[in-house]
């Protein structure tokens, strides 16, 4: 166990966790909503500080981050646990495990030094804190990110965006990029499907931009739940108003976990969402999970030149020169382009 960051001690042996926007008040012996933070004798501890449940070398495009060192690899890690209860979670076997079995923590012993060493030796450009929600293993992510930063290795979060402003600000000196799931644009969806609230996610997208972290956003479109033209336009308009250069990834849902009665998202819906994003004024809109259709490519938003051609997670060609379009010399937003 590792004593937690960002908590306060209350009366009667209780503690308040200030790591995510649930801001759980936890009695002695009890756990936070995430299932991996426990009050032990009036102090809060992380139970997953050095317990890695998954580690892989992934293409950065899998995160997905399309305009952050494209073509590079990310050493990707996760622990068990999550602060959301998404009914469509694709990694529910590890994200929901501590909630379903209180105090049941599994994973290989692996601390920050070893993670950074493995990332460095494997030639990865970055370390991705992903698969589950990195906020819930914040202490491990924070200490790893510090060491990685010192070694010149980049750090990225793949997140539901529900951390507190304090948490995002704390790690911001070491966090180079983040992909935030903007799962819907209604409080109803967040409450009933995810077990959270919309507003903190919107606030964190704006905060991450102010902190100069590279931001990309993903929306998984689920038939009948968040696929209306009005809602998709609201998402696109929000992102445009924050920064029209934020890449928006539109992903295809498939039946999983507790939502198995709905079909895969029709490709036509993804096309519609992409068209809405472009019409709204977003410069980079991508369709995910449907490789080979051309809408996963990066185009110059000024002249329409094909800049990065992709097939799934692979790059076929990249013509960007020093962050600019080779045809019109227009600026292409991103990091490491």
Alpha-helical runs (H) found in 122-228? 138-150, 165-171, 187-189, 199-210
Q: Helix, strand, or coil here: 41? A: coil
Nearest to 209 by CA among 79, 333, 85, 74: 333
For residues 77 and 108, the answer to whether their CB atoms sit within 8 Å is: no
Ordered by start, the domain boundaries in the chain are 2-46, 51-303
How far is residue 316 from each of residues 66, 232, 248, 285, 306, measured CA to CA in Å? 13, 30, 21, 19, 11
3-class state of residue 205 by DSSP: helix
- Helix axes of 267-280 and 229-242: crossing angle, nearest 10 degrees: 40
Structure tokens at 9: 């001690």
CA nearest neighbour of 311 among 127, 71, 124: 71
Q: Output the pLDDT for position 76.
A: 98
Burial 239-275 (b: 16+ CB within 10 A, else e): bbebeebbbbbbbbbbeeeebeeeeebeeebbebbbe
pLDDT digit string (tens) for the chain, length 337 residues: 899 999 999 999 999 999 999 999 999 999 999 999 999 999 999 999 999 999 999 999 999 999 999 999 999 999 999 999 999 999 999 999 998 887 778 999 999 999 999 999 999 999 999 999 999 999 999 999 999 999 999 999 999 999 999 999 999 999 999 999 999 999 999 999 999 999 999 999 999 999 999 999 999 999 999 999 999 999 999 999 999 999 999 999 999 999 999 999 999 999 999 999 999 999 999 998 887 777 999 999 999 999 999 998 999 999 999 999 999 999 999 999 9
Pairing of strands 25-26, 15-17: antiparallel
The pTM of this model reads: 0.97
Q: For residues 183 and 181, give the distance between their C-alpha atoms in angstroms, rounded to a whole number.
A: 5
Distance CA 90, CA 255 (A): 9
Name the fold adopted by 51-303: TIM Barrel (3.20.20)
Both structure tokens of 160 = 């539901």
């Amino acid at each position: 166990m590792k004593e937690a960051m960002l908590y306060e001690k209350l009366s009667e042996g209780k503690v308040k966790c200030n790591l995510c926007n649930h801001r759980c008040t936890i009695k002695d012996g009890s756990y936070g909503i995430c299932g991996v933070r426990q009050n032990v004798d009036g102090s809060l501890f992380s139970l997953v500080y050095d317990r890695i449940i998954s580690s892989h070398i992934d293409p950065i495009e899998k995160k997905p981050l399309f305009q952050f060192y494209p073509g590079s690899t990310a050493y990707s890690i996760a622990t068990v646990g999550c602060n959301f209860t998404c009914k469509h979670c694709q990694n529910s076997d590890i994200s929901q495990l501590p909630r379903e079995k209180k105090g049941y923590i599994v994973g290989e012993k692996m601390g920050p030094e070893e993670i950074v060493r493995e990332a460095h030796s494997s030639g990865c450009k970055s370390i991705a804190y992903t698969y589950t929600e990195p906020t819930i293993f914040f202490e491990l992510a924070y200490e790893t990110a510090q060491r990685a930063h010192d070694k010149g290795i980049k750090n990225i979060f793949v997140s539901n965006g529900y951390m507190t402003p304090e948490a995002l600000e704390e790690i911001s000196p070491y966090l180079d990029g983040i992909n935030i799931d903007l799962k819907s644009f209604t409080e109803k969806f967040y409450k009933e499907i995810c077990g959270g609230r919309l507003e903190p996610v919107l606030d964190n997208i704006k905060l991450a931009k102010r902190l100069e972290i590279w931001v990309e956003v993903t929306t998984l479109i689920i038939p009948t739940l968040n696929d209306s033209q009005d809602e998709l336009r609201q998402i696109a308009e929000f992102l445009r108003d924050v920064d029209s250069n934020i890449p928006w990834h539109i992903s295809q849902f498939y039946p999983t976990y507790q939502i198995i009665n709905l079909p895969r998202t029709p490709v036509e819906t993804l096309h519609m969402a992409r068209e809405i994003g472009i019409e709204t004024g977003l410069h980079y809109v991508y369709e995910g999970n449907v490789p080979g259709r051309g809408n996963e490519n990066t185009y110059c938003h000024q002249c329409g030149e094909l800049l990065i051609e992709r097939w799934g997670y692979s790059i076929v060609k990249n013509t960007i020169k020093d962050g600019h379009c080779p045809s019109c010399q227009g600026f292409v937003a991103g990091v490491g382009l």
